[in-house]
Chain A
Amino acid sequence: MTNYGMVIDLERCIGCHACAVSCSQENNVSLDQQWNRILTEGGDSMDTPEGKYPEDGRDGTLSMNHLPMACQHCENAPCVKVCPVNATYKRDDGIVAIDYDKCMGCRYCMSACPYNARVFNYDEPETLPAEGTGNVEQREQGVVEKCTFCSHRVEEDLDPACTVACPADARIFGDLDDEESTVSRYINKYETDQLLEELETDPNTYYVRGDMTPGRKRHGNELEGTEKKEVGNPDGVATDGGESE
């Protein structure tokens, strides 16, 4: 079986927002919503550190990290369990999807999602151009939406838009059930964590912390497992573009 998941290397992430922007564009997301957000783990505003500026010329205590956040596609997804009308469901390929024709906009799923990954179209979605952007239809006012793992792309054997967009090669998408896939090998090799692990939602999104990976070389748009797929290889150094094996 297929179980799609994502690995985001926080050591590589430079907080550039390319993935966030690309997500909005490709998925026709309204300007007042953002499915994929880049948070700053640090000070009170974006791109500021926490800690104290060093007084002795040394590194001091400052620290700052970027944390890209979108739907985590939880295995044990609370949003799925609460949706009264089966509009939110877990697909067999691991993607947590929303049937926009069924969603009645009760927003129960929003309070269920511990990651605030979901947004609701309070207003008529607004895009520039008004006819919409990207490669999917706009959702109606009154329904809830969120990251789809770009299911429309995945179904065409394409990597998600954010993954293709990341200039730091920090995002890797693939099949968690395939032991040979890059996501699986990264999870096995590197220290990864899931957000709010203690809540036992068991997200399909894993974050690498502490150890930099070779990253996913952006050689193609195709999903791993399709023809001519080259992605970073955790077993090799980056010099070979991660193509060994």
Chain B
Amino acid sequence: MSTRRDSGVVVPQFGTRGKAWLALLGIVIVAGLAAWGYQLSRGLAVTGMDNVFSWGLYIMLFVFFIGLSAGGLIISSAPKFFHSKRYDSLAALGVLVSLGCIVVAGLLILPDLGKPSRVTGFLTSPDFRSPMVWDFGIVLLYGLFNVGYLWLLTRRDLAKMGSQLAFGVEDTPAGRERDRKLAFWAAAVAMPLAIALHSVTGWIFATQIGRGDWFNPLVAPMFIMKALVSGLALLLVTAIVVDRVTRFRMPRELVPELGKVLGIFVAVHIVYLVAAERLPHAWAANFEFWSITSAFLVGDTVHFWLWTVVGGAVPIALLAVPSWRRKVGVVFAASVAAIVGILFEGVYLIFTGYRDLNIDASPGVTTGTDYTGIGSDVWATVGSYTPTLIELLVTLGIVAVGAMIVTLGLRFLPVQPGGRKPSAVEAGETEKSDAETPPDAAVADGGYVVDGTDGDRR
């Protein structure tokens, strides 16, 4: 036992709360499976998608989770690449979160398919012109890489605590040294891989000539930026929550530091890239200086406000003031806001592609879902979409799988290098941060993933 703790396993044993949490995840997963079963038997007719709006929640969240998966990996590998030990304490946790997210992303593809059994076509008759084939490859690679990297980061500790997961590796100082070097090379691979992942995912959209804003060379850079923002934010949220509910201790000084980095990412993303994207449109569509300016600064959709205010202005404001960003609660809130913003941006992206038809003359196109008999209207000239309960359940189930992966990782992997450190929370803010933790303890209780997605969707 003590070896375990020393070697950095932060959940040596599931307590009541832990078991309840696992049970909850299990129930959500089973519900998701049941919903998927129902969807399989009835077809995608039970989703809210139609011929006009042909990608919905599954793909929206696929894109989102691809983005989320970036942060951990980049944060854990970037310092390593510069031979810095700076974020070592977060490295394993970061990779674990990345892994959970990439698994969620990969799984989200399946329920989106009309014929899931034919997914093997990716292997048996791939068309290498298709960005989705590139994406499929890279998601697979990325997932495997995450597994390997995670193992690399933890195998000596695993060996130390005698876990079978060490697969025979021994804990020797020389071995640790070798792993440090290996980690450098892995980090060297990790960053381009992450960048490729986001670019390729971006290109799935950016190559679509007929879909409004999608056909835009900025999409891939934007995806990378979104990944940095949401990935880092998720890592922060996770670390803070895990710090609270497990023995994991996040170094106190990292909170303002990473908060600052997040602030910069958000600023670059929202202020620069989004502006760079909006300005030409506003400029081209308006004549007067003030109308250009206002079209550029003031959005007319709820999405615009959600992502610029909730996902942009709020986090930037919270993180800009040095004294604020030293408060864990503030960083936590800013991170959540940033995640929400990115989620909405992803959702909005899909909407911009499907709302208007290139040729929208009446009667439009058949929705493909509406023929109920004589007198039913099957036509649409604009896209509209509301996810159904089935889609929500399936999605939640898959997200729960990701949460399960992280939870089990915390239980079986030594994610805390060098054992216990003083808690960020314990270091001084207990009282205050309590107030900032979501009142729903059951959810806050490690339910970061649920929080980060479900919470937004309301």
Contacts and interface: CB of A to CB of B under 8 A. Distances in A.
Q: Decide if A and B are genuine partners.
A: yes
Interface of A: 30-34, 37, 39-46, 48, 67, 69, 78, 80-87, 102-108, 110-116, 118-124, 126, 140-144, 195-196, 199-201
Interface in B112-136: 112-116, 118-119, 121-122, 124-127, 129-133, 136
Given A102-B125, A142-B114, A196 B130 contact: no
B210 A32 contact: no
A141 B325 CA distance: 53
Interface string B38-61: 000001110101111011000000
A33 B121 contact: no
B368 interface: yes
A41 B51 contact: no
A120 B358 contact: no
Contacts of B136: 84
Given A39-B364, A46-B362, 5 more contacts: A33-B51, A84-B130, A84-B133, A105-B44, A123-B45
B115 A143 contact: yes
A199 B112 CA distance: 28
Given A32-B367, A82-B131, A120-B51, A195 B359 contact: yes
A32 B114 contact: no
Contact of A34 (B44, B122, B129, B366): B366
B353 A85 contact: no
B362 A39 contact: yes
Q: Which 5 A-B pairs have the closest CB atoms?
A: A105-B114, A114-B210, A142-B114, A85-B121, A32-B371
Contacts of A104: 113-116, 118-119, 121
Contact of A105 (B113, B122, B129, B133): B113
A33 B133 CA distance: 28
Nearest to B204: A108
Most buried by A among B49, B119, B366: B366
Given A120-B114, A123-B45, A199 B210 contact: yes
B327 interface: no
Contact of A85 (B118, B210, B370): B118
B209 interface: yes
A81 B130 contact: yes
A16 to B, nearest CB: 15
Contact of B357 (A30, A116, A119, A124): A116
A43 B368 contact: no
A75 to B, nearest CB: 14
A114 B54 contact: no
A87 B365 contact: no
A84 B366 contact: no
Contacts of B132: 82, 84, 106, 108
Contact of A116 (B109, B114, B358, B369): B358
B207 interface: yes
Contact of A46 (B43, B51, B363): B363
Contacts of A67: 359, 361
A77 B122 CA distance: 20
Contacts, number: 187
A44 B381 CA distance: 10
A103 B210 contact: no
Nearest to A35: B366
24 contacts: A32-B369, A32-B370, A34-B365, A37-B364, A37-B366, A39-B364, A48-B362, A81-B130, A82-B130, A82-B131, A84-B130, A85-B121, A85-B125, A103-B114, A104-B116, A104-B118, A104-B121, A112-B210, A114-B210, A120-B51, A122-B50, A142-B43, A195-B359, A199-B209
A102 B51 contact: no
A102 B121 contact: yes
B312 to A, nearest CB: 27
A194 B49 CA distance: 29
Contacts of A103: 114-115, 118
Interface in B354-395: 354, 357-359, 361-371, 378
Interface string B273-288: 0000000000000000
B211 interface: yes
B3 interface: no
Contacts of B112: 106-107
Given A108-B132, A124-B43, A32 B361 contact: no
Nearest to B133: A84
B129 A115 contact: no
Contact of A119 (B358, B361, B366): B366
Contacts of B361: 39-42, 67
B13 interface: no
A122 B369 contact: yes
Contact of B51 (A43, A80, A116, A199): A116
B208 interface: yes
Contacts of A123: 43, 45, 368-369
Given A30-B371, A142-B114, A196-B210, A115 B358 contact: yes
Interface string B99-119: 000000000010011111011
A119 B53 CA distance: 11
A124 B365 CA distance: 19
Nearest to B124: A85
Contacts of A121: 43, 114, 368
A44 B50 CA distance: 21
Contact of B209 (A83, A85, A114, A116): A114
Nearest to A141: B43
A78 B209 contact: yes
Contacts of A78: 207-210
A122 B370 CA distance: 10
Nearest to A39: B361
Contacts of B359: 39, 67, 69, 115-116, 195-196
